[in-house]
A = this chain, B = another copy of it.
Amino acid sequence: MEQTEDHVDRVLRQWRAERPDIDPSPMGVIGRISRAAQTLSKRNRVVFARHELQPWEFDILATLRRSGPPYQMTAGGLSGASMVTSGAITNRIDHLVSRGLVTRATDPGNRRSVLITLTDAGRDVIDGAVTDHVSGEAQSLAALSPGEQDQLAALLRKLLLSHGDAPAGAQAGAASSRA
């Protein structure tokens, strides 16, 4: 019994038939990354809903939570961490403030900046949601052995690093502060 064909396999087969002049194999990798992202995100949404959170609400709260005490970041910091534009962050924060999960205050030391802080209620919500979240994600990956999961993560890390995906302030060989 051979391995079943997935959706992308069929797409590649179609391209090879219709456009024999091009090699579609890159689509086999990137197409599956996109498709997996969409599928997994749909699954996560179910877990978030159990905690009455939208995916984007979870994102913000989780980012604040994992930053550690005092669970506080600037709007710009959140924007960078979330891969969304500043306009979207303003919007998200408005909602979370009205739900009482975060507070918004001008930074006394730099009044251009806005400091977003997790409230106690926000911390309770995110702590419960994260616990569920990771166990849900573990289930989503159950078809892969721990070794395969590590392999997958390593390959993706290599790919991401080649696209400049490094945490702020840790740029490859580029300008680092202080010579």
Q: Which residues of A contact B (CB under 8 A)?
A: 3-11, 14-15, 17-19, 22-30, 32-41, 43-44, 65-68, 83, 127, 130-131, 134, 137-138, 140-144, 148-149, 151-153, 155-163, 165-167, 170, 172
Contacts A/B (CB < 8 Å), 17 sampled: A4-B172, A10-B167, A17-B68, A19-B66, A22-B130, A25-B153, A26-B140, A29-B137, A29-B149, A33-B36, A36-B37, A36-B156, A43-B163, A140-B163, A148-B158, A152-B155, A155-B155
Contact check, A68 vs B14: say whether CB atoms are below 8 A apart.
Answer: yes
A159 to B143, CA, bound (A): 6
Closest to A161 in B: B6
Given A32-B153, A157-B32: A18 and B65 within 8 A (CB)?
yes
